[in-house]
């Protein structure tokens, strides 16, 4: 790498356009939102910048704190489910035959590239009252009833008078289901990356010395995969916490997350200063999570080295 | 999908291992429950998408029971003018934003790869910001920005798409920069020095040595930017107006009303387009990586 002073002309020619774009069309918009978050709404559109902290104060209301807590809780549950589900998958891919690895990885990543909206829409068709899950359950119910009739138990109506479809959509379950659906690829990849780098002789040694597979998993494999687990947890948690579309389309009235509240401030409640404050709080939470990841992975690598 | 990890053909015994051999302690790839977990996750990921696509060919509005093959929902989607307009808008936006993203991303990658300059870590951090911040925050920022600076709204097509295009470039070009920079890491500096020793100017070296080397990264980054732009809903949702509806925004408004096979048909088209682009991008990157090593 050369110091920029050695060829300043090339440096300026190459760095100016992207820097200009970043500043003008990314940092400036963020700065405007930041300034607005200290403003006060006056009338329908007018906003006066009074450098008040009222918007942030309002965000500490029980109502909004609850929504923040709920967003974090949903994101945490999602992350936990993703971790539990993705770990065996990443482990299996690590130990799959060489030529199957890229195929399996591609299969895991591919859904990530299909449109989020379409994937969410696909889940609606799966989960709704007349959706595939309920349809399958009803089929089983019918078969069960038929079998019971065959056994002469038809009159007893052991399975209830008629099939009651499960309410799978427009509730918190649907939101977590959708978030797990979206988040799984984010979790598999970092786990795979760290498991694939692991020195397998440690596992071998542990097994040779008489530890059970179970004990080897918890005392050898998981500690060695710590960096990947931390990465996976955080990059699943961040988008889950800030997700808008999944709670919007799959959630009910009581499964609103923070992004939905932000959207409402801008699209219907028309309270831009408050919406700005909320979106900056969400951003600070994101930065906090990223800093945590950097810190934890640093301490993790220090441990490995030591 | 069922035959994960078993390279057997037609049920014949695999060439390398025989089924009768006991599973070794480290042979996790052959353990049934691990294979099942991979299979289950892949089913979980793909069944919704595949059923969605399959039912776009279903001759029934209720969309649950298979009633026979039909293309009428594709026909319907093709005759839906507002849907077509939205699709056209999406492609236009994706194309223009890809061109700009590749240019800006490539320049940013070259700067970060080639130069030392004061404040570089913060510069890199700022460049990564569009990748890490929640989409909703970026969408809100774009909405506020264009409203506050009074970006003209009633311009003729395609200028009316400019706000969306600008927003898309802002979140795509850092991705391109990342991809291109990863490619540049493998560049052999001596090539550049040789070109300069032989009398090539800075520009000639850039054009004839560096750009050809970057090309696979540029193509992969471009495809990535195109897919990102085509797929984006949240940020577009905040920057689009009533006259500048993109395909995902249109599908969103359709989905809010009902689940119809028409939406399935439109979605199936978009899925095929994006998957083809993604596979192409990965293949190109993979090939470039192999050729290099």
Tokens of B180: 């291109």
Instruction: State the Cα–Cα distance between residues A47 and B144, nearest whole angstrom.
Output: 12
The answer on B66 and B80 residing in a single domain is no
Could you say which of B9, B42, B70 is where a domain stops? B70
The answer on B169 and B45 residing in a single domain is no
Could you say which of B51, B70, B89 is where a domain stops? B70
Instruction: State the Cα–Cα distance between residues A197 and A71, nearest whole angstrom.
Output: 34
* Chain A CB contacts of B256 below 8 Å: 249
Residue B145: closest C-alpha in chain A: A29
The answer on B283 and B217 residing in a single domain is yes
Q: Please give, rounded to a whole number of angstroms, the shortest distance from the CA of A304 to a CA of chain B.
A: 23
CA A130 to chain centre: 27
* Chain B CB contacts of A30 below 8 Å: 137, 141
Is-contact A231 A297, C-beta < 8 A? yes
The four Cα atoms B256, B262, B266, B269 give a dihedral, to 10 degrees, of 140
Residue A299 at interface with chain B, using a CB cutoff of 8 Å:
no
| Residue B2 confidence (pLDDT) | 39
Nearest to A3 among B116, B141, B270 (CB): B116
The answer on B58 and B79 residing in a single domain is no
Q: What is the mean pLDDT of each run of 10 residues along chain A (306 residues)?
A: 83 93 96 93 79 89 91 95 94 88 88 86 84 82 82 69 79 93 91 88 87 86 88 91 92 89 90 93 92 79 50
pLDDT in tens, B122-170: 999 999 999 989 999 999 999 999 998 888 877 887 888 999 999 999 9
Q: Provide mean pLDDT across the span B89-100.
A: 95
Q: How many CB contacts within 8 angstroms connect chain A with chain B? A: 256
The four Cα atoms A282, B251, B231, B286 give a dihedral, to 10 degrees, of 130
CB contact (8 A) between residue A30 and residue B234: no
The answer on B65 and B80 residing in a single domain is no
Residue whose token pair is 């069309």: A25
Domain count for chain B? 2
Could you say which of B24, B48, B70 is where a domain stops? B70
| Residue B292 confidence (pLDDT) | 56
| Residue B259 confidence (pLDDT) | 67
Give bridge partners of residue A48 from the DSSP assignment: A40
Interhelix angle for A116-127 vs B247-257, to 10°? 20
* Chain B CB contacts of A244 below 8 Å: 135-136, 234
Pick the CATH number of A54-129+167-305 from 1.10.3720.10, 3.40.50.180, 3.40.630.30, 3.30.2290.10: 1.10.3720.10
Residue A114 at interface with chain B, using a CB cutoff of 8 Å:
yes
DSSP A221-233: IHHHTHHHHHHHH
Please, what is the average pLDDT of chain B?
Answer: 84
Is-contact A4 B148, C-beta < 8 A? no
Whether B13 has a pLDDT exceeding 60, the answer reads no
| Residue B105 confidence (pLDDT) | 96
Q: Provide mean pLDDT across the span B277-285.
A: 78
Is-contact B181 B109, C-beta < 8 A? yes
Closest CA to A249 of A116, A110, A156: A116
Whether B107 has a pLDDT exceeding 90, the answer reads yes
Q: Please give, rounded to a whole number of angstroms, the shortest distance from the CA of A156 to a CA of chain B.
A: 30
pLDDT in tens, B171-210: 999 999 999 998 898 888 888 889 988 988 888 888 898 9
Instruction: State the Cα–Cα distance between residues B211 and B218, nearest whole angstrom.
Output: 9
Half-sphere exposure of B240 (CA within 13 A, CB side): 23
The answer on B16 and B52 residing in a single domain is yes
Nearest to B136 among A27, A104, A263 (CB): A263
The answer on B121 and B217 residing in a single domain is yes
Domain range spanning residue B1?
1-70
Tokens of A180: 């797990």
Q: Please give, rounded to a whole number of angstroms, the shortest distance from the CA of B139 to a CA of chain A.
A: 9
């Amino acid at each position: 790498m050369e110091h920029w002073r050695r060829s300043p002309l090339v440096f300026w020619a190459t760095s100016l356009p992207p820097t200009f774009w970043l500043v003008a069309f990314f940092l400036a918009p963020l700065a405007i939102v930041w300034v607005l978050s200290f403003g006060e709404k006056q009338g329908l559109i007018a906003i006066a910048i009074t450098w008040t902290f009222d918007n942030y104060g309002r965000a500490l209301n029980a109502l909004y704190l609850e929504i923040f807590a709920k967003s974090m809780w949903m994101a945490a549950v999602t992350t936990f489910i993703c971790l539990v589900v993705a770990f065996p998958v990443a482990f299996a891919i690590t130990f799959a035959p060489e030529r199957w690895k890229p195929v399996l990885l591609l299969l895991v990543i591919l859904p990530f590239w299909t449109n989020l909206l379409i994937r969410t829409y696909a889940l609606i068709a799966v989960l709704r009252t007349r959706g595939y899950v309920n349809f399958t359950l009803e089929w089983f119910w019918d078969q069960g009833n038929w079998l019971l009739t065959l056994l002469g138990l038809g009159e007893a109506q052991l399975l209830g008078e008629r099939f009651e479809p499960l309410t799978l959509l427009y509730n918190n379950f649907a939101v977590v289901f959708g978030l797990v659906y979206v988040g799984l690829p984010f979790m598999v990849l970092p786990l795979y990356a760290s498991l694939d780098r692991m020195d397998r002789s440690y596992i071998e040694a542990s097994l040779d010395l008489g530890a059970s597979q179970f004990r080897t998993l918890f005392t050898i494999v998981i500690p060695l995969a710590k960096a990947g687990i931390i990465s996976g947890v955080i990059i699943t948690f961040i988008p889950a916490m800030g997700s808008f579309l999944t709670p919007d389309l799959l959630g009910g009235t009581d499964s609103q997350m923070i992004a939905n509240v932000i959207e409402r401030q801008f699209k219907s409640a028309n309270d831009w200063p408050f919406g700005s404050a909320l979106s900056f709080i969400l951003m600070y939470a994101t930065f906090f999570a990223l800093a945590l990841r950097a810190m934890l992975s640093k301490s993790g690598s220090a441990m490995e080295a030591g | 999908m069922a035959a994960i990890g078993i390279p057997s053909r037609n049920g014949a015994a695999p060439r390398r291992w025989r089924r009768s051999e006991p599973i070794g302690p480290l042979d996790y790839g052959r353990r049934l429950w691990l294979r099942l977990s991979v299979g289950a996750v892949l089913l979980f990921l793909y069944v919704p998408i595949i059923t969605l696509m399959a039912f776009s060919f279903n001759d029934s509005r209720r969309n649950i029971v298979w009633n026979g093959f039909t293309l009428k929902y594709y026909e319907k989607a093709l005759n839906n003018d507002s849907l077509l307009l939205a699709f056209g808008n999406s492609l236009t936006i994706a194309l223009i934003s890809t061109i700009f993203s590749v240019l800006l991303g490539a320049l940013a990658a070259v700067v970060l790869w080639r130069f030392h300059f004061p404040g570089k870590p913060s510069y890199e951090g700022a460049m990564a910001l569009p990748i890490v911040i929640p989409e909703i925050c970026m969408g809100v920022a774009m909405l506020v920005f264009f409203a506050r600076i009074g970006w003209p709204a009633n311009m003729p097509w395609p200028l009316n798409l400019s706000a969306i295009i600008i927003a898309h470039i802002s979140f795509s070009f850092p991705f391109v920069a990342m991809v291109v920079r990863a490619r540049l890491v493998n560049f052999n500096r001596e090539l550049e020095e040789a070109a300069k020793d032989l009398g090539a100017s800075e520009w000639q070296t850039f054009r004839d040595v560096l750009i050809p080397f970057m090309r696979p990264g540029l193509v992969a980054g471009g495809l990535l930017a195109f897919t990102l732009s085509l797929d984006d809903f949240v940020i577009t949702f905040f920057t689009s107006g009533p006259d500048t509806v993109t395909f995902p925004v249109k599908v969103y408004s359709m989905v809010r009303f009902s689940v119809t096979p028409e939406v399935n048909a439109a979605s199936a088209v978009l899925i095929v387009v994006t998957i083809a682009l993604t596979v192409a991008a990965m293949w190109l990157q993979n090939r470039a990586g192999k050729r290099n090593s």
